Amino acid sequence: MGTIALKNVQKRFGDVEVIPGVDLAINNGEFVVFVGPSGCGKSTLLRLIAGLEDTSGGEIVIDGIDVANVPPARRGLSMVFQSYALYPHMSVRNNIAFGLKMAGQPKEMIDQKVTKAAATLNLTDYLDRKPRALSGGQRQRVAIGRAIVREPKAFLFDEPLSNLDAALRVQMRLEIMQLHSSLGSTMIYVTHDQVEAMTMADRIVVLNKGRIEQVGTPLELYNRPDSLFVAGFIGSPRMNLLQGEPAQALGAQIVGIRPEHLTLSTSGGQWPGTILIAEHLGSDTYLHIDGDGLGRITARAPGEFPHGAGGKVWMTPDMNRVHRFDSQGKAMRA
Amino acid sequence: MARKQPMQRRVITTAAAWIVGLAIFFPILWTVITSFKTELEAFSTPPKFLFFDWTLENYAIVDERSDYFRFAMNSVILSVGSTIIALLFAIPAAWAMAFAPGKRTKDLLLWMLSTKMMPPVGALIPIYLIFRDADLLDSRAGLVAVLFLLNLPIVVWMLYTYFKEIPGEILEAARMDGATLWKELVFVLAPMAVPGIASTILLNVILAWNEAFWTLNLTTSDAAPLTVFIASYSSPEGLFWAKLSAASTMAIAPILILGWFAQRQLVRGLTFGAVK
């Protein structure tokens, strides 16, 4: 089992309130991603759950027991760090086995578990190497192996892929997702990369200034953002946010329309504009357009879109997918 | 031409480094050479560099006149003893300051270092009086305590800089893995800090070995280390350069040999943190 409940969890560093009070319930086996800009408190929240930071108030309940005052090792959680945090003086085998040794498990059982974890993670050939002789991806696998063998109630990942190059990041992302489906364990994953959040999560928790902005499945957040913050954060490229006339026409302070929900035409449409830059990705073309009286707008066009910088285009929003926000930045829904 | 410039510069810097190195080493070399001269030749003008009658008589006389090994043993006890005690205090202190720093940690470190800025003579009289009243004059225990306190700030500073280089996440990983504070220190921190701890030990043994001010002022015979042994040859009987040189050579030989074998460790230790 691995249910985790946060009840009014607070954290202050001196006079600075980092997390004013967070409530969250995570189900057993769920893959939850904490996402937000740097400094939003997502890593701090993870470290509070891990027990590496003391809470300033509130309860952290794991499987029905409040562990807010329990040391990290006895919370039954494993953590994978951004810097891998491998023990540099130990072989891969000993790195993976360290937690089991600390728990005083018998040697045969340790060997058995290490061998199994190494096989799962394709590390069998590297067991006698030191971490410095491994590539970034292999190091991250060792860190994951170290987490797996302890058979934790839940895994905590603190931006585990941000030190890897783009190609490896995609591969490791898939491996972590496979691991989640094969182990079925609860996983909490911290990232600032909204693509990771969208692709991996069962549920995403969007954090801003230590507060939860919105919790939901990736598509819920994409389709029904509760606030301007979530609207701007989820989705790539970012949602276009327009003020003034187009917003007033819909009775809102600000309206948002995603680049993929604009239909482009070279002959006519609702909003005229001039192409500033065209980014050709092959499958798609992203156009950065200077909309007449609207400011800068990003639009997605097909890969073979024939017009480049300086071209005149008209954009027509899909009115069913326009998001309306009030002056407080809250979503207005009919 | 473009490639010649760095080559020229390299030759110049190498030559400059050798000149500076030799200038620093020259007094030691001269002491060693003088120790093999007769008293007469030691005084001669112009001084003789290599072409004189090499003799071991000074060593024989020094060995006969004073008990070298008693002084040497005191030096070993004082330097090693004070270093070990300093480590016992400094490792936990440096650990705390590196991995659990408080608001005033930086100030505390600076304050500790500032104690080294006071001229030692400023503290001589109170310490002398305390030693006299506590019956610690000319005792090894007393001197070990003084040398320990004297070098503690440097030991803490050195260890602190080494520990700072160790990523805190590794210790946190150990904590997540169930290591107690003690096991974290023994199985994770210490093995990673071994080079740093080793060079700290070396440097402090050398500092304590060479410490002359307190050893000369607080000892007479029983606890006297090699610094006192050297000083005893600049005696009221007049200056005996050759014998003084022989005594000095004997006094610095052990630490020079230790330093030679450990020079890699020492250089790494002293530049650690400066270059990544």
Whole-model pTM: value is 0.78
Which residues does chain B have within 8 Å of residue A104's beta carbon, measured at their own beta carbons? Answer: none
- What is the chain A residue with the closest CA to B180? A102
DSSP 8-state secondary structure symbol assigned to residue B85: H
Number of structural domains (chain A) is 2
B158 in any annotated domain: yes
DSSP-assigned states of every residue in A106-173? -HHHHHHHHHHHHHHTT-GGGTTS-GGGS-HHHHHHHHHHHHHTT--SEEEEESTTTTS-HHHHHHHH
CB-based contact B120:B52 (threshold 8 Å): no
Q: Compare CB distances from B176 to A78, A86, A87 and report the shortest one's residue.
A: A78
- Whether the complex's predicted ipTM is more than 0.85 is answered with no
Q: Compare CB distances from B176 to A79, A87, A88 and report the shortest one's residue.
A: A79
Give the number of other Cβ atoms within 10 Å of residue A44's Cβ. Answer: 19
- What is the chain A residue with the closest CA to B184? A102
B30 in any annotated domain: no
| Same domain for A311 and A213 | no
Q: Compare CB distances from B188 to A87, A103, A150 and report the shortest one's residue.
A: A87
Chain B nearest C-alpha distance from A75 (Å): 9
Number of structural domains (chain B) is 1
Which residues does chain A have within 8 Å of residue B182's beta carbon, measured at their own beta carbons? Answer: none
- What is the chain A residue with the closest CA to B190? A89
B104 in any annotated domain: yes
B225 in any annotated domain: yes
Task: Please state, in angstroms and rounded to a whole number, the distance separating the CA atoms of residues A327 and B52.
Answer: 98
B90 in any annotated domain: yes
Chain B nearest C-alpha distance from A213 (Å): 29
Write down which residue in A190, A207, A230 finishes a domain. Answer: A230
Burial class (CB in 10 A: 0-12, 13-18, 19+), A328: exposed
> Does A73 contact B170 at a Cβ distance shorter than 8 Å?
no
Q: Compare CB distances from A83 to B167, B175, B192 and report the shortest one's residue.
A: B167
Burial class (CB in 10 A: 0-12, 13-18, 19+), B143: buried
Three-class secondary structure of residue A206 per DSSP: strand
B272 in any annotated domain: no
CB-based contact A170:A178 (threshold 8 Å): no
Write down which residue in A203, A230, A257 finishes a domain. Answer: A230
Torsion angles phi and psi, residue A180, rounded to 5: -65, -45
| Same domain for A254 and A182 | no
B155 in any annotated domain: yes
Token match 């720093």: residue? B101
Token match 């005191």: residue? B74
Chain B nearest C-alpha distance from A121 (Å): 19
Residues in chain B: 276
Chain A nearest C-alpha distance from B151 (Å): 30
Write down which residue in A202, A230, A258 finishes a domain. Answer: A230
Parallel, antiparallel, or unpaired for β B238-239 and B234-235?
antiparallel
Measured CA angle at A293 (ends A288, A297), to 5 deg: 20
Q: What's the pLDDT tens digit per position in A68-122?
A: 999 998 899 999 998 889 998 899 999 999 999 998 999 999 999 999 999 988 8
Name which of A44, A49, A52, A150 to mutate to probe chain B: the one with the most chain B Cβ atoms within 10 A of its Cβ. A52
Query: Residue A307: which domain range?
Result: 239-332
Closest by CA to A315, choosing from A282, A292, A285, A333, is: A292
Rg of chain B (C-alpha set)? 23
| Same domain for A216 and A97 | yes
Closest by CA to B165, choosing from A139, A88, A97, A39, is: A88
- What is the chain A residue with the closest CA to B194? A89
Torsion angles phi and psi, residue A317, rounded to 5: -75, 150
Query: Residue B151: which domain range?
Result: 66-232
| Same domain for A264 and A149 | no
> Does B176 contact A82 at a Cβ distance shorter than 8 Å?
no
CATH number at residue A303: 2.40.50.140
Q: What's the pLDDT tens digit per position in A77-86?
A: 999 998 889 9
Torsion angles phi and psi, residue A156, rounded to 5: -115, 125
CATH number at residue B194: 1.10.3720.10
Give the number of other Cβ atoms within 10 Å of residue B56's Cβ. Answer: 11
Q: Which residues of A lie inside 8 Å of B (Cβ-Cβ)? A: 14, 50, 52, 71-74, 77-79, 81-83, 85-89, 98-99, 102-103, 146, 150
| Same domain for A42 and A21 | yes
| Same domain for A144 and A221 | yes
B60 in any annotated domain: no
Q: How does pLDDT run along chain A (334 residues), one tens digit per residue?
A: 789 999 999 999 888 999 999 999 999 999 999 999 988 999 999 999 999 999 999 999 999 999 999 999 889 999 999 888 999 889 999 999 999 999 899 999 999 999 999 998 889 999 999 998 898 889 989 999 999 998 899 999 999 988 888 888 888 899 899 999 988 999 999 999 889 999 999 999 999 999 999 999 999 999 999 999 999 999 889 999 998 888 888 888 999 999 999 999 888 889 999 999 999 888 999 999 998 888 899 999 988 888 888 889 999 999 999 999 998 889 988 6
Which residues does chain A have within 8 Å of residue B186's beta carbon, measured at their own beta carbons? Answer: none
CATH number at residue A186: 3.40.50.300
> Does A79 contact B173 at a Cβ distance shorter than 8 Å?
yes
| Same domain for A166 and A271 | no
Rg of chain A (C-alpha set)? 23
Give the number of other Cβ atoms within 10 Å of residue A150's Cβ. Answer: 24
Number of Cα atoms under 13 Å in the Cβ half of residue A27: 7
E strands of chain B, at which residues? Answer: 234-235, 238-239
